[in-house]
Structure 1
Amino acid sequence: RDSEGNVSAIPLQRTGGTTFEGRVPVATSGAYWVAVTVENPDGLVAQGSNGLVAGYADEFAFREADTQLPDDVAGITEGRVGPTAAEVFDPAPRRGAAERPLWPLLVAIALGLFLLDVALRRLVVARGDWRVWREAVVPTRQERPEAIPTAPAPSVEEDEVLPPTRDVHPEEESLGRLLRRKRNR
């Protein structure tokens, strides 16, 4: 029975007086249950069962420790392997250097947090203020105006020219009238 619960029968070959061998194709690693039944033409002779674990990937295999690796890493990084208890707190042989100073960023963060703290303590925010703020800051979506249906244009004879129609308000003056009035003064 495989890890998904599927049962398959595998024939076994006798390799000795009491030993049998068989090969089982295993698609994935994991735990499997093996049940063996030995029969002859007269009936059942023996039966047994056991668990089987198919090997996991090499990355999970237990291997000998590489005792040279820590020494190699310590040599490259100028570190120490197996320091005594007194050496653990010794100062490092050299200090690391930052590419850029960190203090301006920390000062800016502290200033921002200070201003936020003052604002939250001093400003009174009432119900509905956020809506007013959002309407003032966030642009509102304007719906597109719908097209005005137009009537079909009246048929015009080629010889007939209609004057343009325009509503003229009494207080409206054209540019030409304004220029004439200016010259007449």
Structure 2
Amino acid sequence: MVLLSLRIPIGVSLGMTAFTGIFALRGMDAAFALMGSTTFQFIAHWSLTAIPMFILMGAIAFHTGLTRTLFDAGKAWLSFLPGGLAIATNVSSAGFAAASGSSVAMAGAMSRLAVPEMLRAKYDPGLATGVVAASGTLGAFIPPSIPFVLYAVFMEASVGQLLMAVNHRAGKDESRAGPGDQ
């Protein structure tokens, strides 16, 4: 808490505290050995290679015009509804989230496309930015997702099995529905 109150970043504060604790319990050699090996083992984890690939997929989707196409399709399909541009933003955000896996990238891309369109259509600026911010959370929930990968790494689970289990679970729920559940 002292380090945090001195405005030292959280990661550095935690690292310094861990290093000090290991030094006090095991000695200087163990502290340096563990610091080097733990850092390398985490960064060299094979599953983390999925994260740059998701970012690359998002960049390709944005620069090839997929985000614009998704937004234009959402506008065309949903413009007749009240708040059609806001709904189109949510639909196109879900589509882009499925391509990028990143909430931040998705919110950035949609803010460049959807907010100016909504402002031209006389939407309230707070509503326009709020819709983009709220739909930005979809990137964390729709596979492939960077938080899913990080969760799998921290829980020492298989990334592939985690993503398949999410989709498999959705399929199981549908198959359990009886004839009267429709």
The two structures have a TM-score, normalised by structure 2, of 0.23
Q: Which has the higher contact order (CA 8 A, sep 6+)?
A: 2
The two structures have a TM-score, normalised by structure 1, of 0.23
Higher strand share: 1
